[in-house]
Chain A
Amino acid sequence: MGRKLFALIFLTFKEGVRDRALVGVGLFSLAMMGGSVMVVNFFMRELHKVSVDINLSAIAFAGLLLTFFVSLNLMSKDMDKHTIYCVLSKPFSRTQYIWGKYLGIMFLIFIAFCILTLCSTATIFFIKSQYEVYFKEFSWLEFYKAIYAQFLMFFILNAFIVFYSTITTSSFITLLFSISTYIAGQTIEEVVLFLQSSQAMEMVMSKTIGSIIGIVQYVLPNLSVFDLKVRSAHALPISFEYLSAITFYCLIYSSVLLISSSLIFNRRELK
């Protein structure tokens, strides 16, 4: 079973590497990181903050592009081109197919993250060597912690891509649902915090809406918990307890989505 799964992971990864969009995403991120060398000159003192902001945003943006274009393509291509019949005729179970695809995508994102982390390290190292005096409030450890947290977010987001691919027949709908989930996941915390604020307490809101939002906040993933970019830019310490909490959250949430996807995909009639 393990060998079959590894074969699927490797095949998905290989297929992903062949995607030309990958080169575009890579070049865009590198240009953004390179641009940070020039942009920091426009700021007064907190050059460390600006360079970390730009580099972490470049990594996050590259991850999003990979997820919404490369991952989605890898998931939906088999369905759209009907190559799924060919794949499933091999001695794989449908569950193995789902997990293999997902882990293959995550392996691709992991390699992309490694390369981007290496590039951003080089960029920041260069800026730091030029403006050492402005990097007193900078910490490599916090910088890497933020990248780790960012990577965790893509576990959930890609699990959603897999989940939506199993319940929809069109890649466009999967894309639409995934982007909506991402936006909702990033903003749900702010909405809930606003509703808990004294300003919102004064507003007359129906009980139904209140309870709907209460339920939604547990159903939707809270993706903002993985956003440690601003904290990392100021080298504010992030505890290992927090990191383990978000790691467990990510693993549990992704597992729920993948198990659901497997169950749905096992029962799905492929036409």
Chain B
Amino acid sequence: MKQTISLSCFLIISMVSCFFVQQNLSEKREELLKASYMAYTLPSKITGVLALEFKGIVSDFLFLKTTTFFGDKFIKQESVGEKQADYAYESIKIVTDLDPWFWDAYLFADMLLTWDFGQIDKANELLLKAKKNRTWDFKPAYYLGFNHFYFLKDNKKGSRFLMEASKIPGAPSYLTSLAARLSMYENQYQPAIVFLNEILKTTQNKGLKNEYEKRLKTLIIMDKLEKNVHAYHAAFNVFPETLQDLVDKGIIESIPDDPYGGQFVLLKNKRVYTTSKMIYKRK
């Protein structure tokens, strides 16, 4: 009896001490983590082998660790620098080596590396990896297109990626129009014409088909007009000031109508453009 009472007392004392020790340990651990939390990544050659057949769950764990790390930094409004950007890039690279189809990881890296760290090349590198593996998904190509338009100001490449994205089954229908419209900003009507022709072959929806046909018609007109501008230059050794000059010199009979209701104009850089911007003015 005496032994049971003394043992019970010891148990209570141990439990209370355990609570305080644990509290102290938590504080010490937090300090330790603050100083060195996840400042390392194991190369995927090692992680992949160590993960054995549990690559999926290991990739989930590593991704969770990375998102928690950055989430905590943002909540506490702590500054993040190049070191953290490198960590994010390396970590997501490993996560996506373990599971090359993990879209959440690619998207997280893209958002972080572009908007927070301005490392567009690294973000694009990961998106290209996503594009290579997620062949059924339009999103990697779509985000690559966006990064090229918005961050790199490379409309040509951006348009090309959007076109690729719009060809993937399941891609939103607006991508087709967007890609074709954006292509106007660079000297590349021809790829847009080819692209729209291809899309038209597989488009069943009547409304969409009409829309694409109208866009294609406009692009063909603009392409022809530009060729006429160059023909004018070849004949008179000078560029025309306006499209009316082409009519005056008999190169074309009249300026064609814009199917979208706008007007074709000749810009200072001698590119043909339309005031409608290929947006149909709905009544």
Q: What is A's interface to B at a CB cutoff of 8 Å?
A: 42-46, 49-50, 52-54, 56-57, 60-61, 153, 182-183, 186-187, 190, 194, 223-224, 226-227, 229-230, 233-234, 236
Q: For A56, what are the chain B residues with a Cβ–Cβ distance below 8 Å?
A: 56
Stretch of B47-55, B171-179, B257-265 on the interface side: B47-55
* Interface pairs (23), CB distance under 8 Å: A42-B68, A44-B104, A45-B107, A46-B103, A49-B99, A49-B104, A53-B59, A53-B60, A54-B60, A56-B56, A57-B57, A60-B53, A153-B53, A182-B52, A183-B52, A186-B52, A190-B49, A224-B53, A227-B55, A229-B56, A230-B56, A230-B98, A230-B99
Quote the shortest CB–CB distance from B134 to chain A (angstroms). 8
Query: Is B102 at the interface (CB under 8 A from chain A)?
Result: yes
Contact A233 B56, CB 8 Å, known A43-B64, A187-B49, A190-B48: yes
Q: Is the CB of B104 within 8 A of A227?
A: no
Quote the shortest CB–CB distance from B62 to chain A (angstroms). 12
Query: Is B45 at the interface (CB under 8 A from chain A)?
Result: yes
Q: For B98, what are the chain A residues with a Cβ–Cβ distance below 8 Å?
A: 230
Quote the shortest CB–CB distance from A45 to chain B (angstroms). 5
A229: nearest residue on chain B (CB-CB)?
A: B56
Contact A54 B49, CB 8 Å, known A42-B64, A44-B104, A44-B108: no
Q: Is the CB of B104 within 8 A of A45?
A: yes
User: CA A80 – CA B104 in complex, angstroms?
Assistant: 51
Q: In chain B, residues 106-123, which have Cβ atoms closer than 8 Å to a Cβ of chain A?
A: 107-108
Pick from B52, B107, B108 the residue with the most CB of A within 10 Å: B52
Q: In chain B, residues 146-162, which have Cβ atoms closer than 8 Å to a Cβ of chain A?
A: none
Quote the shortest CB–CB distance from B236 to chain A (angstroms). 57
User: CA A224 – CA B60 in complex, angstroms?
Assistant: 19
Q: For B64, what are the chain A residues with a Cβ–Cβ distance below 8 Å?
A: 42-43
Q: For A236, what are the chain B residues with a Cβ–Cβ distance below 8 Å?
A: 101
User: CA A236 – CA B136 in complex, angstroms?
Assistant: 10
User: CA A263 – CA B107 in complex, angstroms?
Assistant: 56
Q: For B102, what are the chain A residues with a Cβ–Cβ distance below 8 Å?
A: 46, 49
Q: Is the CB of A57 within 8 A of B103?
A: no
Q: For A46, what are the chain B residues with a Cβ–Cβ distance below 8 Å?
A: 102-104
Quote the shortest CB–CB distance from A67 to chain B (angstroms). 13
Closest CB pairs A-B (n = 7): A53-B56, A57-B57, A227-B53, A234-B101, A186-B52, A230-B56, A46-B104
Known A44-B67, A227-B55; 9 more pairs at CB < 8 Å? A42-B67, A44-B107, A45-B103, A53-B57, A54-B57, A186-B52, A230-B99, A233-B101, A234-B101
B45: nearest residue on chain A (CB-CB)?
A: A194
Q: For A57, what are the chain B residues with a Cβ–Cβ distance below 8 Å?
A: 54, 56-57
Q: Is the CB of A223 within 8 A of B53?
A: yes
Q: For B107, what are the chain A residues with a Cβ–Cβ distance below 8 Å?
A: 44-45
Q: Which of A54, A194, A230 contacts B55 (CB 8 A)?
A: A230
B68: nearest residue on chain A (CB-CB)?
A: A42
Q: In chain B, residues 52-93, which have Cβ atoms closer than 8 Å to a Cβ of chain A?
A: 52-57, 59-60, 63-64, 67-68
Q: For B101, what are the chain A residues with a Cβ–Cβ distance below 8 Å?
A: 230, 233-234, 236
Quote the shortest CB–CB distance from B102 to chain A (angstroms). 7
